[in-house]
Amino acid sequence: MSEQGARASGGPRQASAIFAATLDLLAEQGYEGLGIESIASRSGVNKTTIYRWWPSKDAVLAAALVHSDLLAFAMPDTGSLRGDLLALTREITQLLTGEQTAPIVATVLAAAPRRPELAAVAHTFFAERLTREQPMFQRAIERGELQPSVDPAMIMDLLAGAIWFRILLRDQPMTPEYLSSAVDLVLQGTAATR
Amino acid sequence: MSEQGARASGGPRQASAIFAATLDLLAEQGYEGLGIESIASRSGVNKTTIYRWWPSKDAVLAAALVHSDLLAFAMPDTGSLRGDLLALTREITQLLTGEQTAPIVATVLAAAPRRPELAAVAHTFFAERLTREQPMFQRAIERGELQPSVDPAMIMDLLAGAIWFRILLRDQPMTPEYLSSAVDLVLQGTAATR
């Protein structure tokens, strides 16, 4: 059982209410509007109870993110690396633009550089994603679509990075044509790599 | 003259002091620690004077960033697209990891999603960069290194995005080997694109 799970085991129903209130408040008011006070009032759970489990708003938020399925994702298995990467890039786009997920992702990443607990959630999230993506690349190698020397992390850095950069930093719309061009460019680049 | 320039023209020496204080405070204490009060106290300029020129801390910060040369960059012209892209990726890495620039970049981008004035600075910055990068790609097309059908913005999205993703989201170190592999992969991908 995780540390958060153990902490919350005294009152799992209250923990769910606290997590839901935390993510709702984050989406509505951003990181700066989030506080133990407002979480207590929204969830109907006593402030002292919340502090007993989590010492800070960052700790509650980190636990809420880990326990939520908002950031959950299915690993595609379409039969080709191209199909798998297209599915993944569509899903990353959805995460960054979806009504429920976009405000959460943006504010957590915004706050993370100076918030060690949130940074740890982000780093763990991306490390876990990469671990779960490995079988996709392994299948591609077995099908002869990818050379074993290519670093899967770099492929994901390039594709996920381009989507992040374009949506969040350039504020440009994402199109299916852009995603397929980017996937094709990277696949052709990896095919030529030796 | 820019709007900020016109506003500040009544007291350019004071404006410089205000901008320097703003960026210092941002680097030291992050976005949340920044305020007109603290800027006034650090710069020695009266709070009322600051408010007369800029209505909010975001407005001061936006003006400070536009006027600073911290985010200035030289456009490389090494004689090859590969050399130019390597130089650009090294410079982006420096921007994201440099002692003076990293805290500023991280906090501004962190705050930007909910701060329209900061978001506008970021979008203008990246749009201007792209405009200044165009001649580099034009020279590459003239040298026969790049097909005219390739979108330069996508090349920059992939490379800059990968660097951002790896440094800021994965919290992994950047190496010269990584940069040259990424540039080679993208160049081989664009060479194969038709």
* CA gap A61, B124 in Å, rounded: 32
Q: Do A122 and B169 touch (CB under 8 A)?
A: yes
| Residue in A26, A156, A165, A187 to test binding to B, most B beta-carbons within 10 Å | A165
> Which pLDDT score, from 0 to 100, does residue B101 have?
86
Q: Which position has the higher pLDDT, A28 or B174?
A: B174
Question: What pTM was computed for the model?
Answer: 0.83
What does the pLDDT look like over A1-21, one tens digit per residue? 344 444 444 456 899 999 999
Q: Which position has the higher pLDDT, B18 or A108?
A: B18
| Residue B136 Cα distances to B74, B85, B90, angstroms | 12, 9, 16
- C-alpha dihedral (B46, B49, B53, B59), degrees to nearest 10: 30
What does the pLDDT look like over B65-81, one tens digit per residue? 888 877 777 899 999 99
3-state helix, strand, coil in chain A (%, to 5): 75, 0, 25
∠ CA B64-A113-A170 to the nearest 5 degrees? 60
Q: Do A165 and B164 touch (CB under 8 A)?
A: yes
pLDDT tens for chain B, 194 residues long, are 444 444 444 456 899 999 999 999 988 888 878 999 999 999 999 999 999 999 999 899 988 988 887 777 789 999 999 999 999 999 999 999 988 888 888 777 777 767 888 888 888 888 888 998 999 999 999 999 999 999 999 999 999 999 999 998 888 999 999 999 999 999 999 886 54
Report the Cα A102 to chain-centroid distance in Å. 10
Q: Where are the alpha helices (DSSP H) in A68-115?
A: 81-97, 101-111
Residues 6+ apart with CB under 8 A from A19: A60, A63, A64, A67, A68
In 10 A of CB A34, how many CB atoms? 23
Burial zone of B140 (CB within 10 Å; 0-12 exposed, 13-18 middle, 19+ buried): buried
Domains defined for chain A, CATH in brackets: 3-67 (1.10.10.60), 76-189 (1.10.357.10)
Residues 92-111 of A with CB under 8 A from B: 103, 106-107, 109-111
Tell me how many residue pairs between chain A and chain B have CB atoms under 8 A apart.
147
> Which pLDDT score, from 0 to 100, does residue A42 have?
96
> Which pLDDT score, from 0 to 100, does residue A193 have?
52
